[in-house]
Amino acid sequence: MKKFVAIVGTNSKKSTNRKLLQYMQKRYKNDAEIKLVEVAGLPIFKKTEEMAIPKLAQGIAHELENADGVIIGTPEYDHSVPAILLSTLAWLSYGIHPLLDKPVMITGASYGALGASRAQAQLRQILDSPEIKARIMPSSEFLLANSLKAFDSAGNLIDQEQVERLDGLFEDFILFSDISKQLNHANSNNAKEMQNFSWDEGSGRRDEEK
């Protein structure tokens, strides 16, 4: 059975993104073991001379390294990814690379009509950055709009069309995670590039920061 890690990309205690990931955990329990990981409590990312990584980030990295794939649920704040999720991804690419070539499925729930579409587009760019190099499932984000009304009292999705769409995407993600394991040459080359990557001398968005 596949083992997936689902990152709750918010520090909100009441989140429909968390509820969506919990629904997936329950619905697909016979297909995959999905472990939810919280990012609440992580400090805002800050470079240090010793490149110290918080214990919580180290724990998340360990979970990711041992997973067959990753699901990231992101809200959308001001047309973008939440600061806590940005900080999490920064810590997870600060001298460590647990998302390197890791299959990733993106989900997003929002109170409005667009279903976190702009945040998901931004998240895709971040995951594809030289510091992270995750392997994102193409053209397959799950967008859940009007999320406050999307679940019943038991935490299940109400709209059967949405359920069928999510079922199809999750089935594809299992297949995608299998295919990713076969891309040995790409993984080897990316691993070599990552070994040579330097935050001070390489190219990347944070190398420009002084």
pTM of the model: 0.88
Q: How many CA atoms lie within 13 A of 34 on its CB side?
A: 26
Helix or strand or coil: residue 84?
helix
Helix axes 55-65, 83-91, angle to 10 degrees: 70
Question: Residue 108's beta-bridge partner residues?
Answer: 143
Q: How far is CA 60 from the centre of its chain?
A: 11
* Amino acid 1: pLDDT: 93
What kind of fold does domain 1-194 have according to CATH? Rossmann fold (3.40.50)
Query: What parts of the chain have a pLDDT lower than 50?
Result: 202-210
* Amino acid 196: pLDDT: 63
pLDDT in tens, 98-133: 999 999 999 999 888 776 888 999 999 999 998 999
Domain boundaries, the chain: 1-194
* Amino acid 126: pLDDT: 96
User: Residues near 124 by Cβ (< 8 Å), separated by ≥ 6?
Assistant: 106, 136, 141
Quote the CA–CA distance of 104 and 147 in Å, as a whole number: 22
